């Protein structure tokens, strides 16, 4: 497949890994956070932990929308879906996330709720048009990549006067999360978690461009390399970060030049700005309330805002106290550090969000990484199951 | 969630839609977020919408830079 296969050349990946090993200063260590769950998946799937030298380590970040969605919002969506007049349309990623009562959208669907998995907001619009007697609510989640399609759905619903279509908006923004990580005590205090640089998200950056990261690179003196989602993209980005550190530089570099520009997709940004505004704060699972980190519909579109239209109640709900998803999302702990990992928490029975989404750090480690852990620590049966 | 795939535009359709193909699989998608779409263009497809066009020159340049990096040249 064009633009995919050529970026998966294993020989080249190994060659660049060798260049990283020879470029990295053996007297120091390098810790790079891949913000995006897509990168987490690639790093686990292609065995980067073994490819990279021991002094170049990757730290998983919170860039997985399913992982950071607080379970109170899931509970609110389930409660809404249980109402007889409601048809809840959702991306498949959300179906198995449990609320505080152990319910999921999948369980609610089995109990009779009209919940439909859709590939696109276009499908949700089609359902609303085809079934005017139903109240069709689109469960919108995701970072800046997924927000423009929601904005266009709203635009289309307004243009077609679809009075039975509304949006439960849970969209979040990337810069606020990066800012939170860099200012958190975990990272900012000496002697705690070390992050020397960031791999910036691929498709979020296709929308917002590389410009928003310039502030972080400058203020926190951390290099950022925006990278594509193929293994050659990621390994090249790691090499670029190592070189920046060695040279004492901290700038934003763009590895994904085939799809990302400095200013991003201005048309998509304008569509989002037309329909959405920043919330004063929004709760992130594992990170807590983050200021100016989430979006809501602008007041003039209240008729299409499911939270207002159906007086939805959202509440803060605690995670299972034994679940380490919060610390894992902040890069403070690794999946195998959680005592639930591989015991009661597996992809079949996920306790925490990092195991529910295939892009979550725990699911990625379960699928691709735990065998390596087992090989290294034969007595660590508890953690690797 | 933010995963997206490069697909080839085969036919530009009315109402800012297009028919695209990936490895023989054909799909109708929205091109409302991008301008000046033509058959033969490759676009990044995410949840039914083209997010951006792939720049073929930059794609080639990336591969050239990767080749250089693999041989130990600074990129």
Q: Phi and psi of A317, rounded to 5°?
A: -125, 140
Q: How far is A379 from chain B (nearest CA, A)?
A: 35
**Per-residue pLDDT, A384:** 40
Q: Which of B23, B34, B61 sits opposite A257 (nearest CB)?
A: B61
Of A78, A164, A170, the residue nearest A126 (C-alpha): A164
Residue B73 has pLDDT above 70, yes or no: yes
Q: Which of B6, B61, B69 sits opposite A4 (nearest CB)?
A: B6
Question: Which residues of chain B are within 8 Å of residue A239 when distances are taken between CB atoms?
Answer: 69, 75
Three-state SS for B52? strand
Other Cβ atoms closer than 10 A to A4? 13
Of A329, A25, A259, the residue nearest B43 (C-alpha): A259
**Per-residue pLDDT, A192:** 65
pLDDT in single tens digits along all 385 residues of chain A: 899 999 999 999 999 999 999 999 999 999 999 999 899 999 999 999 899 999 999 998 888 899 899 989 999 999 999 999 999 999 998 998 888 888 999 999 999 999 999 999 999 999 999 999 999 999 999 999 999 999 999 999 999 999 999 999 999 999 988 888 888 777 766 656 789 999 999 999 999 999 999 998 999 999 999 999 999 999 999 999 999 999 999 999 999 999 999 999 999 999 999 999 999 999 998 788 999 999 999 999 999 999 999 999 887 777 788 989 888 887 888 999 999 999 999 988 888 888 888 888 999 999 988 777 666 654 444 444 3
Contact B2 A120 (CB under 8 A): no
For A50, residues 6+ apart whose C-beta sits below 8 A from its C-beta are A372
Calpha distance B39→A264 (Å, rounded): 23
Of A251, A229, A231, A256, the residue nearest A241 (C-alpha): A251
End-to-end CA distance of chain A: 36
Three-state SS for A345? strand
For A272, residues 6+ apart whose C-beta sits below 8 A from its C-beta are A144, A147, A148, A151, A295
Q: Phi and psi of A381, rounded to 5°?
A: -55, -35
Q: Three-class SS string for A42-102? A: HHHHCCHHHHCCCCEEEEEEEECHHHHCCHHHHHHHHHHHCCCCEEEEECHHHCCCCCCCC
CA dist B55 → A190, A256, A258, B65, B74 (Å): 42, 10, 5, 15, 23
Q: Which of B47, B51, B54 sits opposite A207 (nearest CB)?
A: B51
Tokens linked to B23: 């490895």
What average pLDDT does the structure give for chain B? 93
Of B60, B61, B34, B58, the residue nearest B45 (C-alpha): B34
**Per-residue pLDDT, A198:** 95
Partnered with residue A142 across adjacent β-strands are: A171
Question: Which residues of chain B are within 8 Å of residue A146 when distances are taken between CB atoms?
Answer: 1-2, 46-47
Q: How far is A210 from chain B (nearest CA, A)?
A: 14
Note the pTM of the prediction, 2 decimals. 0.92
**Per-residue pLDDT, A382:** 45
Contact B4 A145 (CB under 8 A): yes
Q: How far is A305 from chain B (nearest CA, A)?
A: 21
End-to-end CA distance of chain B: 30
**Per-residue pLDDT, A377:** 57
Contact A201 B2 (CB under 8 A): yes
Of A348, A125, A384, A145, the residue nearest B44 (C-alpha): A145
What number is the average pLDDT over the span B35-63?
96
**Per-residue pLDDT, A317:** 75
Q: E strands along chain A, which residues?
A: 30-36, 56-63, 86-90, 114-117, 135-142, 165-171, 197-200, 224-226, 252-254, 276-278, 281-284, 288-291, 295-297
Q: Which of B2, B22, B69 sits opposite A19 (nearest CB)?
A: B69
Calpha distance A135→A133 (Å, rounded): 7
């Amino acid at each position: 497949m064009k633009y995919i296969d050529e970026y998966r050349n294993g020989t080249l990946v190994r060659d660049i890994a060798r260049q990283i090993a020879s470029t990295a200063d053996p007297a120091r260590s390098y810790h790079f956070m891949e913000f995006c769950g897509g990168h987490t998946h690639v790093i686990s799937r292609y065995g980067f932990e073994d490819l990279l030298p021991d002094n170049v380590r990757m730290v998983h970040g919170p860039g997985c929308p399913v992982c950071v969605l607080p379970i109170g919002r899931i509970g609110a969506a389930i409660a809404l879906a249980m109402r007889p007049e409601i048809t809840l349309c959702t991306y498949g990623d959300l179906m198995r996330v449990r609320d505080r009562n152990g319910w999921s959208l999948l369980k609610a669907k089995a109990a009779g709720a009209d919940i439909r998995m859709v590939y696109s907001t276009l499908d949700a619009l089609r359902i609303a048009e085809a079934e005017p007697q139903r109240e069709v609510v689109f469960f919108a989640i995701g970072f800046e990549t997924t927000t423009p399609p929601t904005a266009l759905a709203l635009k289309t619903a307004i243009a077609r006067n679809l009075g039975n279509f509304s949006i439960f908006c849970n969209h979040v923004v990337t810069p606020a999360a990066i800012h939170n990580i860099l200012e958190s005590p975990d990272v900012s205090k000496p002697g705690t978690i070390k992050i020397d640089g960031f791999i910036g998200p691929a498709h979020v950056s296709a929308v917002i461009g590389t410009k928003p990261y310039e502030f972080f690179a400058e203020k926190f003196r951390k290099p950022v390399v925006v990278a594509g989602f193929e293994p050659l993209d990621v390994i090249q980005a790691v090499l670029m970060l190592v070189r920046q550190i060695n040279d004492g530089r901290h700038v934003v570099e763009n590895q994904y030049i085939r799809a990302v520009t400095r200013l991003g997709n201005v048309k998509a940004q304008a569509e989002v700005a037309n329909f959405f505004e920043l919330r004063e704060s929004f709760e992130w699972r594992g990170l807590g309330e983050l200021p100016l980190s989430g979006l809501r519909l602008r007041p003039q579109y209240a008729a299409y805002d499911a939270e207002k239209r159906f007086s939805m109640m959202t509440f803060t709900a605690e995670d299972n106290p034994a679940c380490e998803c919060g610390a894992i999302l902040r890069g403070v702990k690794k999946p195998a550090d959680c005592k639930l990992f591989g015991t009661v928490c597996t992809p079949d029975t996920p306790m925490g969000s990092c195991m529910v989404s295939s892009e979550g750090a725990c699911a990625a480690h379960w699928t691709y990484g735990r065998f390596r852990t087992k090989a290294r620590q034969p007595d660590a049966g508890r953690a690797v199951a | 969630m933010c995963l997206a795939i490069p697909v080839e535009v085969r036919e530009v359709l009315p109402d800012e839609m297009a028919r695209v193909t990936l490895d023989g699989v054909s799909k109708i998608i929205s091109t409302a977020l991008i301008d000046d779409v033509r058959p033969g263009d490759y676009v990044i497809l995410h949840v039914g919408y083209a997010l951006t066009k792939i720049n073929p020159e930059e794609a080639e340049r990336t591969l050239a830079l990767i080749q250089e990096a693999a041989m130990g040249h600074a990129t």
